[in-house]
Amino acid sequence: MFAKYRVLTLFLCLGLALGVTTGAAVAQLPEEAASPQTEPFRRIDQPLWTRIAVTVGGLSFIAAELWWFQFSKTQARQAGVKQGIQEIAIAVDGGYSPNRVVVRAGQPVRLNFFRKDPSSCLEQVVLPDFHRAVDLELDRITPVEFTPEQAGEYPFHCGMNMFRGTVVVRDRAEISPAPPPVHSNGQVREASETPTFG
Ligand SMILES: [Cu+2]
């Protein structure tokens, strides 16, 4: 399931690279066409529909990319409570899963980041509001602890701010009691969407 995401991410990154290089090439075209030094390169007049197709293709790549990084696969999960600590496992594999973590204010939180993705992009996780910047070792669970005092939404992201998640802090009264129990390995015992740390 996560391998699919990785392939898709790669695909979209290639799309962006292609879009940028094509854009740069097109931007340089008028200058080069005017210069006599570019004789070996003959300018080919593309039919209008080709230009439109290329433009539409490029724009849809950009749109897909924005969607992928901003809006895709938002999944919220509530942290379980173990010995007074709100604990939840977050798989780091082509992003964060779950990428929306619900906790309650005034109680310690432990986010167990399990990094499965070898890309350097995800080797660091930053929680600016809680003053945490933590390096994640590959194939290890790295706990990040803090105590949120105020209700609100607090983002976390990779070192380059490409992949993002949110810690949603609610007031005690807003959260239903008895959240799901947590496994000894930090995995939340829950339905189908629980990430598999195999
Ligand atoms: Cu990154």
Q: Which CATH number is 120's domain given?
A: 2.60.40.420
Work out the end-to-end distance of the chain between its first and last CA atoms, rounded to an integer number of angstroms. 12
Kindly state whether residue 182 falls inside one of the protein's structural domains. Answer: no
Asked if 86 and 115 sit in the same domain, the reply is yes
CA of 182 to the centre of ligand 1 (A): 28
Least confident of 55-64, 85-94, 109-118: 55-64
CA of 74 to the centre of ligand 1 (A): 18
CA of 159 to the centre of ligand 1 (A): 5
Residue 6 confidence class, pLDDT cut points 50, 70, 90: low
Q: How many distinct structural domains can be found in the chain?
A: 2
107: three-class secondary structure by DSSP? coil
Q: Is a pLDDT exceeding 90 seen at residue 185? A: no
* DSSP-assigned letter for residue 126: E
Kindly state whether residue 134 falls inside one of the protein's structural domains. Answer: yes
CA of 114 to the centre of ligand 1 (A): 15
Range(s) of the domain holding residue 91 = 76-170
Q: What is the pLDDT of residue 78?
A: 93
Asked if 84 and 163 sit in the same domain, the reply is yes
pTM to 2 decimals? 0.56
CA of 64 to the centre of ligand 1 (A): 18
Kindly state whether residue 41 falls inside one of the protein's structural domains. Answer: no
Asked if 66 and 125 sit in the same domain, the reply is no
21 within 8 A of 54, measured Cβ to Cβ: no
Residue 42 confidence class, pLDDT cut points 50, 70, 90: confident
Kindly state whether residue 194 falls inside one of the protein's structural domains. Answer: no
